[in-house]
Each structure stands twice: as structure tokens, then as C-alpha cells.
Amino acid sequence: MGIMELFRVLKPLRRRMFINRALDCILWGLCIGGAVGVIVATAALFVPVAFALNKVFLCIGISFFAALVAAVFMFPDYKAVAVQGDKLGLKERLVTALELKDDNSPIARIQRFDAVKAARSINFKKAYPFYVDRKKLFGALGLFMAIALIFFIPSDQREIARQKERIKKAIDEQVVQVKKEQEKLSQNRELTLKEREELNEQLKELLKELKKSKNEQDAVKAIARMQHKLDEIKQNSMDKDLTRLGEMLSRLEETKEIGNALKEGRYDEIREKMDALARKLENMDENEVNQLAEEIEKIARKINENPELAEALQQLAQAMQSGQFSQELANMSTAMSKLAGNAAMHKAMQSLGNALSQARASLASVNSDQLANPILVSNLKGSSQQGETDSSNTGVKGQGSAGIAQGVGQGNSGSDSQGDSGEGEGNGGNGSGTGGSGVGDGTGSGREGSSQGGLAQGNSGKEPGEKKVRNYEEIYASKRIDGADQESYVSGTQRDSGTVEQVQVEDGPVLMGESLPYNEVFEQYRYEAMKSLERSTIPAAMKTLVEEYFSSLE
């Protein structure tokens, strides 16, 4: 009787052992998963853990499946089966027989025979029943109940975690959107391979950064960086001469529309504009045409870096003087279109740009929800600042939060309290001013949801762009930067109790402004500052100071 006979006899025991081991292993898995789940659930009481419940389920699931996989590998070998069999009263017959499997001496043969005989005499069903360790089973159940109970314990951190979850979901949605854009891009046959690759590379970079984003700020920054890069690409892809030409042409009354179209990249409109110019030229007298021809010739000389375009302009000027300009206008249009590069590329970039803007708006809206919760406002890192700016000389106090902005103006003396715009501005909120004879000037802006919650901007409030350019810190950019907004004047006389006026403004903060990387709005701010320098009576030295300030920021 060989060892195979013994193996055959031991097979039922082996199967039973496997099932018992698997059950035990699974119970272990559930216990470990439950224990980790309890830790996660408890941790979620004290620190914000996003998707805590999902994580708990994940822990339990992973442990369970790991246990299942482990159980598969725990199929007992015959040595273990022999040891177990011996414990059932076989008195080490099986272990000995297994050790003697290659021995063919009389004693080994007799011993094997004895082992097989003894093993056959045992009813493994009775001797080795299926077994579920109750301690482990109840332990696992207890842990699950503990998890459930912990989740019923109220905690502020859970609210914060929920907000984080919303942000994460929003980021994930944007990741999906970016992937869709990537897909669209890869199917866009109008673009050259190089262009596709260039844009695709940028999108990949964006995806990577979005996935790495830990909060909405990171995500918005990543999107802003992408937008910035798109702008750079756009800038590089456009012919600078065309832009310059557009600049120059826009200064002339007759070619203003063509110039603007060139500047703004509306190349598909050029031919139409050229036709319009041709019609205009036909109605012009000879002097005017000659004058225009001279101007165009001057322009042609100025853009001599681009001989093709310069030559086309030169020829146009000559043709205008000779009265044969229709054909040359057409040639000019063709040259411009050619130089304008690939319109499809611009279109694709435009589409991407729109998608990115939407993404940013979407993320920003998540943040505005977050700001609506006072607990979150006080707890969330990176969005917990409450801005309050008090300006004594203008009597402005602006305070805003949760979409409600209040502008309180109080003039302290007739002349000193002069405010130049006097506006309580807060979208979706209230602006109120109390004052004497002066005019309160405040801009309390309910934040649309960025890093500076409830920022109030008074005249002496934070100046934009305080050495943040390099970091591209997000700042709130009001759409009313030029002051074109509702105005509120507070009437009254000096030192009386004044009146209170409340103005219900029309729209929510989100639509009236947005968070932008500083470098994007810097130019606009500088432009506005320069513009106001021109129209205000400011000492020359102060003008220089302001100019130097902006130069230093550059």
C-alpha cells in the first residue's frame, strides 16, 4: 500500500481543513478590517477625513478580499493534514507514514498500512466538523457595530470632511472633463500632429496636477497655470507682425475694423473687412485714398521684418494710388490669413480655454458653498480668513462673508470724509452706510469663494498684487474694477445720527467676480491705475511713485 492511498484517504480531511482555514482567515480579515475601520471612524471624529465611510468600507473590503486570496493559498499541505489527522486520535501514525513515504522497509510498509487503516476508521465529518470561531465572529460583528455607532456621534470635523468631499468630487469631475477635452483633441483632425501633441502635453500636465491637488486652491491654480500656458501658446502661434499690423491699422479710421480683427485674432473676418474697405475706398475721393495709401506705405516700412507682409502692403499702397486696389486687397487678405496661422489651433485653444474657465468656476462654486458654513469658514485651512478693513480717513468699513456684504460709511468731517465713489458693494448681500455729512466710501465684497473669505476692500484696503506675482496667488477680481456699479449715497448732516440705508443688490458674488491668479489681473490693474493717473490731478512725484510701484511688481 503506497503513500498515494494514504493521500486519497486524507482528501476529505484536507478539504475540510481548507474550508475551516478559509473561514478562519475570512473572520480574521473581517476583524482586522473592522479594527482599521474603527480607527478610521474614530479618527474622523477628530480630524476631517473625507469619504470616511467609504474608507471604512474600503478597509473592510480590502481585508475581506485579502483574506479570501490568502485563504486560497492556505490550502493545507499533506504534512499539515497529517498533523491534524493525528490529533484526531491517530497517534502520529500519519506524520510517521508521511516521513516514511520513500522508505520501503518491512516496518515502513506495515506502518503505512496501519496508518491507512487507522485513517479509514475515522469519520472525518464527525471528528473534524466545520468550525466558525465564535469569538472572532462576534468580535467582527462588535467592531462593525462600533463603527456604526461612531458614525452617529456628531462632530464638527465631519462637516469639514463633507466639504472636502465636495471639493474632491468637483476636482474629479474636472479631471473627467479634462479627459473629455483630451479625447476631443485627439480626434481633432484639423490640428497638425505637433499641435495636438503640444496641447495634449499641456492637458496631461494639467491632469497630473489636478490629480495631485489636495484642495480646490491647488486645482484652481493648476487650471490657471494651464490657461496661462494656453495663452502663451496662443501668443506664440500668432504672428506678432500681424498683431503689430493690427495695432497700426486700428489707428487709422478706414482700417480700424481690419486692425481690430487682426488684434483680436478674428482672422476669418478679414476678407469680409477687406471687402468692406474696398467698398469704402471706392466711395472715397482721390486725396483721401492717396493719404491712406501713404499711411499704409509707412506701415509697410515699419514692418519690414516681415518682407512678405511688407511687400503686400507696399503693393496695396501702390495699387490704391493707381486706383487698382481690388485685386491687391484680395492678395493682402490671403497674405494675412496665411500669416494668421492655423485657425483650427485657435479654435481648439478657445474651446480648451472655455472648458478651463468652466472648471474653475465650478471649483469656485464649491468653495462658495463652503463659505456659507460658518464652522467651515473658521476651520477650513486656506479659506478661513475673514477680511475686515477699516479705513479711518475714508470712513469705510467693509465686512463680508457668506455672500453678504455690508458697506458702512461714516464721515468724520465735512472735507476729510470725502469719498470718491462711496459704494457699498456686496453681491447678494446688504450694503449699509451710516454717516454724517460725508460720503461713506466702502467696498464690502461678499467673496465668491476663494482664499480670502469675506474680504472687504476699502480705499486703503489691500492693494492688489502684494508680491504674489511669482506664486500666482489667487485674488478676488471684481468685475466692477472700473467702478461701474450701483452707487449708494448716504445723506445727512455732520454729527447727526445719520440714516441707514440698505441696498439689496441683484446678484450673487459668484457672477460678479472670480478668483484669478494674480499675474492675470496685474496688467489690468496696472492699466486702470495708469488710466486714473492720467485723469486725476496728482502730483508728478506721486505719479512717478505709482509708476515705479507697478514697475517693481513687474
Partner 1 sequence: MNIDGNDIQQFHEVFGKVEQEVSKHIIGQKDVIRQVLISMFAGGNILLEGMPGLGKTQLVKTIGKAMDLGFSRIQFTPDLMPADVIGTNVITRGEDGISRFKFEKGPVFSNIVLADEINRATPKTQSALLEAMQEQTVTVGTSTYKLPQPFFVLATQNPIEMEGTYPLPEAQMDRFLFKLDVGFPSLEELHDIVMLTTTSVESAVEKVTTAEEMLKMRAVARQVPIAKPVMDFALKLVMATHPQYEHSPKITKDYVRYGSSPRGAQSIISAARVRALSEGRYNVSFDDIRYVAFPALRHRIFMNFEGLSEGITSDTVISQIINSMKME
* Residues near partner 1 (CB under 8 A): 83, 86, 91-93, 95-97, 99-100, 103, 105-111, 114-115
Residue with cell 469519520: 123
Residue among 96 and 334 whose Cβ is closer to partner 1? 96
Alpha helix stretches (DSSP H) within 47-155: 52-73, 78-85, 93-99, 106-120, 124-127, 134-152
Q: At residue 430, what are phi and psi to the nearest 5 degrees?
A: -120, 140
Residue among 118 and 319 whose Cβ is closer to partner 1? 118
Residue among 115 and 171 whose Cβ is closer to partner 1? 115
Residue among 106 and 539 whose Cβ is closer to partner 1? 106
Min dist. Cβ of residue 107 to partner 1 (A)? 5
- 303, three cell numbers: 514692418
- 449, three cell numbers: 469663494
Residue among 9 and 170 whose Cβ is closer to partner 1? 9
Min dist. Cβ of residue 81 to partner 1 (A)? 14
Min dist. Cβ of residue 21 to partner 1 (A)? 17
Min dist. Cβ of residue 127 to partner 1 (A)? 17
Residue among 109 and 468 whose Cβ is closer to partner 1? 109
The Cα 394–Cα 537 span in angstroms is 19
How big is the chain by its Cα radius of gyration, in Å? 39
C-alpha triplet 409, 412, 413: angle, nearest 5°: 125
With a CB cutoff of 8 Å and minimum separation 6, the contacts of 345 are 191, 195, 237
Residue type, 548: E
Residue among 101 and 136 whose Cβ is closer to partner 1? 101
Min dist. Cβ of residue 117 to partner 1 (A)? 11
- 549, three cell numbers: 510701484
The Cα 237–Cα 243 span in angstroms is 11
Residue among 97 and 178 whose Cβ is closer to partner 1? 97
The Cα 21–Cα 134 span in angstroms is 14
Residue among 86 and 501 whose Cβ is closer to partner 1? 86
Min dist. Cβ of residue 178 to partner 1 (A)? 59
501 contacts 490 by C-beta, under 8 angstroms:
yes
The Cα 292–Cα 323 span in angstroms is 12
The Cα 216–Cα 369 span in angstroms is 12
Angle between helices 52-73 and 3-46 (to 10 degrees): 170
With a CB cutoff of 8 Å and minimum separation 6, the contacts of 129 are 16
* Short-list 445, 363, 369, 438, CA closest to 400: 445
Residue among 110 and 141 whose Cβ is closer to partner 1? 110
Which class for 505: exposed (0-12), middle (13-18), buried (19 or more C-beta within 10 A)?
A: buried
Min dist. Cβ of residue 122 to partner 1 (A)? 15
Min dist. Cβ of residue 109 to partner 1 (A)? 7
Min dist. Cβ of residue 7 to partner 1 (A)? 17
**Contacts made by residues 131-135, CB under 8 angstroms, sequence distance 24+:** 131/20, 131/23, 131/24, 132/23, 132/27, 133/23, 133/24, 133/27
Continuous segment of H or E residues that includes residue 433: strand 430-433
Rounded to the nearest 10°, the torsion over CA 26, 31, 33, 38 is: 160
Residue among 106 and 154 whose Cβ is closer to partner 1? 106
Min dist. Cβ of residue 139 to partner 1 (A)? 25
174 contacts 363 by C-beta, under 8 angstroms:
yes
Min dist. Cβ of residue 120 to partner 1 (A)? 16
Min dist. Cβ of residue 143 to partner 1 (A)? 30
Residue among 110 and 149 whose Cβ is closer to partner 1? 110
